[in-house]
Amino acid sequence: MAEQVLSPKELLQRATDLMPVLKERAAHTEELRRIPDESVQDLIASGLHLISVPQRFGGLDVGYGEILEAGAILGSACPATAWCYSLWSAHSWLAGHWPLQAQEELFGNGPDALCSSSLNPGRSTLEKTEGGFRLSGRWEFSSGCDSAQWLMLGSEGPGGLVWSLLPKSDFEIIDTWFVSGLRGSGSKAIAVTNAFIPSHRVIPADSGGDDDWTGWEIHQDDRYRIPIPVLLGWELVATMVGIAIGMVEEFTDRFTGTSGPGRTADSGGVQIRLSQASAEVAAAHALLRADIQETFAKAGQGEKFSTLERARYRRDKALVTQTCLRAVNGLFDLTGGHALFDSAVLQRHHRDAQAVAHRDGLIMEVGGSQYGRVALGLEPDGRI
Q: Which residue has the higher pLDDT, 4 or 36?
A: 36
Helix 234-255 to helix 345-356 angle (10° resolution) is: 160
Q: Which residue has the higher pLDDT, 382 or 375?
A: 375
178 three-state secondary structure: coil
Q: What is the pLDDT of residues 231-271, one digit of tens each?
A: 999 999 999 999 999 999 999 999 898 877 665 888 888 99
Q: For residues 187 and 116, what is the distance between their CA atoms, to the nearest angstrom?
A: 9
pLDDT, mean of residues 126-152: 98
Contact (CB, 8 A) for 80 and 236: no
Residues 6+ apart with CB under 8 A from 351: 180, 181
End-to-end Cα spacing for the chain: 37
> For the chain, what percent of residues have pLDDT higher than 70?
98
Residues 6+ apart with CB under 8 A from 162: 126, 154, 155, 156, 202, 203, 204, 205
Contact (CB, 8 A) for 40 and 22: no
Q: What is the pLDDT of residues 278-325, one digit of tens each?
A: 999 999 999 999 999 999 999 999 999 999 999 999 999 999 999 999
Q: For residues 75 and 321, what is the distance between their CA atoms, to the nearest angstrom?
A: 13
Q: For residues 331 and 244, what is the distance between their CA atoms, to the nearest angstrom?
A: 10
Q: What is the pLDDT of residues 326-337, one digit of tens each?
A: 999 999 999 888
Q: For residues 240 and 266, what is the distance between their CA atoms, to the nearest angstrom?
A: 29
Q: For residues 2 and 23, what is the distance between their CA atoms, to the nearest angstrom?
A: 33
pLDDT at 159 over 60: yes
pLDDT at 342: 81
pLDDT at 347: 95
Q: Could you tell me the domains of the chain?
A: 8-106 (1.10.540.10), 115-212 (2.40.110.10), 226-375 (1.20.140.10)
What mean pLDDT, rounded, does the chain reach? 95
Q: What is the pLDDT of residues 192-225, one digit of tens each?
A: 999 999 999 999 999 999 989 999 999 999 999 9
pLDDT at 2: 46
pLDDT at 1: 44
Q: What is the pLDDT of residues 7-20, one digit of tens each?
A: 999 999 999 999 99
Residue 189: how many CB atoms within 10 A of its CB? Answer: 18
Nearest partner of 122 among 84, 83, 68, 162, judged by Cα: 162
Q: What is the pLDDT of residues 169-199, one digit of tens each?
A: 999 999 999 999 999 999 999 999 999 999 9
> For the chain, what percent of residues have pLDDT higher than 90?
89
Output the DSSP codes for 325-346. HHHHHHHHTTS-GGGGSTT-HH
pLDDT bucket at 4, cuts 50 / 70 / 90? low
Helix (H) or strand (E) holding 135: strand 132-142
